[in-house]
Chains A and B, each alone.
Chain A
Amino acid sequence: MRRDVLTMGKNSRGDTETVERFLDSTLESVDSAEELALQEAERAGVPEDDLHKIAMAVRESMVNAVVHGNRYNAHKKVHLTLTKGHGEFVVRITDQGEGFDYENLPDPLAEENLLRHSGRGIFLIKAFMDDFRVRRLQPEGTEVTLVKYLVSK
């Protein structure tokens, strides 16, 4: 039994369709979120070349939520929603952590940072998705939104 799935729903609102999961703060959740995103993106008609990019962006965002946001806290969940419609595939990942400053991250392409062990996750998400937004929630939590356009805008 998959204990990480607390609710599961598919709702049709107009011409959009959303799948959601509440996931435990574990690395297994990272894998299952990536797998689900890949499946849903494929169903949404995302081109083959972009499937891997979405999968990787979801993986990196989930790692941020589980590791840096919720810090593997067993009492905290990660909310994942995957929405297709209006010519977009939208991934929203929300954690219950204290959040961190997305605006002032070191540039991983700067000469002095090239050989750093970490710090490339957000850069890769931005490189692989068409839009990336971050919202701090009150009293806690961070919501990131990843968008891949299914049609040229």
Chain B
Amino acid sequence: MSVKLSTRQVGDVSVVDVAGRITLGEGSSALRDALRDMVGKDHKKILLNLGEVSYIDSSGIGELVSGFTTVTNQGGQLKLLNLTKRVKDLLQITKLYTVFDVHDDEAAAVRSFA
């Protein structure tokens, strides 16, 4: 298993719990498909919980960025929750950390969409 995604609804926010590796191939395409599916269903508030993500490569970063722009272009918001140190470091060196709205607390993250 490279990646596992499960979606739950907290109020009007769709929380996607992601676990495993988001790397070129199965991992990045699963994330892409999940986000496209949500945008297709008109979900406008998406919170990606990356707390169980052990690894992201450049392809995975690309999917995060594409997901962010797709959701934003549809008038929605995509935010990140619970970054591991490795993922946080990766977003910092690629200067993407400030592009995303990043949270450590789920309740506060959900409230921030209002």
A: residues with CB less than 8 A from B are 27, 30, 52, 56, 59-60, 63, 67, 108-109, 114-118, 120-121, 123-124, 127
Contact = CB atoms under 8 A, between A and B. Distances in A.
Given A115-B65, A116-B65, A124-B58, A27 B25 contact: yes
Contacts of B68: 115
Nearest to B69: A115
Contacts of B23: 59
Contact of A117 (B65, B95, B96): B65
B14 interface: no
Contacts of B57: 56, 59-60, 63
A114 B68 CA distance: 12
B88 interface: no
Nearest to B61: A120
Given A52-B86, A56-B57, A115-B69, A123 B62 contact: no
A67 B28 CA distance: 15
B74 interface: no
Contacts of A114: 65, 95-96, 99
B107 interface: no
Contacts of A52: 86
A114 B96 CA distance: 7
B95 A109 contact: yes
A142 B62 CA distance: 24
B93 interface: yes
Interface string B56-80: 0111011101101100000000000
